[in-house]
Amino acid sequence: MSKKIGFLGDQIHPMQFRILCLALFFLFSGISGRSQTRLSLLTCGPGDQMYALFGHTAIRVQDSLRGTDHVFNFGVFDFDTPNFTWKFMRGTLMYKLDIQEFQGFLPEYQYEGRSVIEQELLLDEADEAAIIAFLAENYQSDKRYYRYDFFFDNCSTRTRDVFEKVLKERLKYRFPESESLPTFRDMIDPFIGHDSWLDFGIDILLGAPTDWTADERGQMFLPAFLSSNLAYGVVDETRPLLSPPVTFLEPALGNGTGAMVKPAWVFWLLLPFFALMWAYLPKIRQVLILDAVFWIFYGLVGCLIAFMWFGTSHLATNSNWNLLWLNPLQFAVGISLLLRPRAKWLPLFGWFQLLSLLAYLIAWQATSLEMHFASIPLIILLVLQSLRLVDFKIKRPKNPDFLK
């Protein structure tokens, strides 16, 4: 249980009390002269854990007169939250602004072998006081919690918003001209490309917003780009927002080598395997079981895609057109092949699936929709399997006793 500080009958969290005092100190600092305050942006490199793959960012506030050194962190969540996993999957898990001592912040990243760089905020005393007051206000219990969004509302964008809301129109960005801008998918690929299976899985689950163009400000959802793009910020037309970076910790972790067996290799090898099964084995028990497993697997992936689109609050998984070739109805096809292999609706579904695939390929050509290379053999397999459903000449057993 957290300790509380009693004050005139009220109870205040010790960290809230310290930050409140610090903010009040800045409001009246002009009376006794300038305090020895230093604000800086901390940018932490990627880690091995899923939640750390894209790095992290925070604001450091030092006051040498008071001997304080705090880190304001917008990327904190509570593992003890009831139904944590379910809330995390559905996108309803609340993140919060938290404060910790810098001496406890740095060793954590050193232990994980992650890099940490610091860039000082080149602000005057009034702006420093305003930022600290803004952080103190947002640390209050009714404001510190927010619903996380990977692209548009995370620890990195919240940090950017602090500077923009405090400095307002005084902060301007002078980005260099660029002939083209990346998509959000382009931006996250370098952070996960070393793990081919993770890269493929994320590509399948993320929807159309992932292929939106990210301008320089939008790119700041990634901590590394927050650091580099804020460096183009200028206050009052002349003063740079950030100093050059200073390295606290060098990265001790590489990107890793990922799995030796790539998904594309596995899926391309499945093509001749299925072809040989269909050509040389009786088109009854063994092949029918294999066909059923194929459709059930595709259908389960389709159920996951549908859930991430319609059952969660994740904007990044909306409008996922992979649902045209990976859909929940495929699960019913697999079950039907096991129980009623001669069901009359199966050929009709084969035609439906072929038309859905055609719609997907048209959308792929006509829009910015991206297709993972490993998806190509899976789509070819789906075409062949759909044609098998359409082909009435394929003999299927009348009874579901083929498992014997």
3 has pLDDT over 50: no
Looking at per-residue pLDDT, the higher value among 388 and 43 belongs to: 43
Cβ neighbours for 46, distance < 8 A, ≥ 6 positions apart: 52, 53, 54, 55, 114, 191, 253, 255
355 has pLDDT over 90: yes
CA-closest candidate to residue 91, choices 207, 200, 182: 207
Distance CA 99, CA 71 (A): 6
- At residue 9, the pLDDT reads 32
DSSP character at residue 140:
S
- At residue 255, the pLDDT reads 52
Distance CA 63, CA 82 (A): 37
Cβ neighbours for 32, distance < 8 A, ≥ 6 positions apart: none
314 has pLDDT over 70: yes
Going by pLDDT thresholds of 50, 70 and 90, the confidence category of residue 23 is low
- Inter-residue contact 388 to 291 (CB < 8 Å): yes
The strand pairing partners of 312, in sequence order, are none
- At residue 5, the pLDDT reads 28
- At residue 12, the pLDDT reads 42
374 has pLDDT over 70: yes
Looking at per-residue pLDDT, the higher value among 50 and 15 belongs to: 50
280-284, Cβ contacts within 8 angstroms, sequence gap of 24 or more = 283/394, 283/395, 283/396, 284/395, 284/396, 284/397, 284/402
31 has pLDDT over 50: no
- At residue 4, the pLDDT reads 28
Q: What is the mean pLDDT of the chain?
A: 85
256 has pLDDT over 80: no
Read off the pTM: 0.83
33 has pLDDT over 50: no
The pLDDT tens digits of the residues spanning 124-169 come to 999 999 999 999 999 987 789 999 999 999 999 999 999 999 999 9
Q: Provide the sign of the torsion angle of the four alpha carbons 255, 260, 261, 264, taken in this order.
A: positive
CA dihedral 157, 163, 166, 169 (to 10 degrees): -100
Strand segments, DSSP code E, in 137-264 are 145-147, 171-173, 233-235, 239-240, 246-249
Going by pLDDT thresholds of 50, 70 and 90, the confidence category of residue 257 is low
Distance CA 291, CA 127 (A): 66
Distance CA 355, CA 394 (A): 21
- 181 is written with which tokens? 């801008």
Helix pair angle (345-366, 375-390), 10° resolution: 150
Domain annotation for the chain: domains and CATH numbers = 5-175+216-249 (3.90.1720), 263-403 (no CATH)
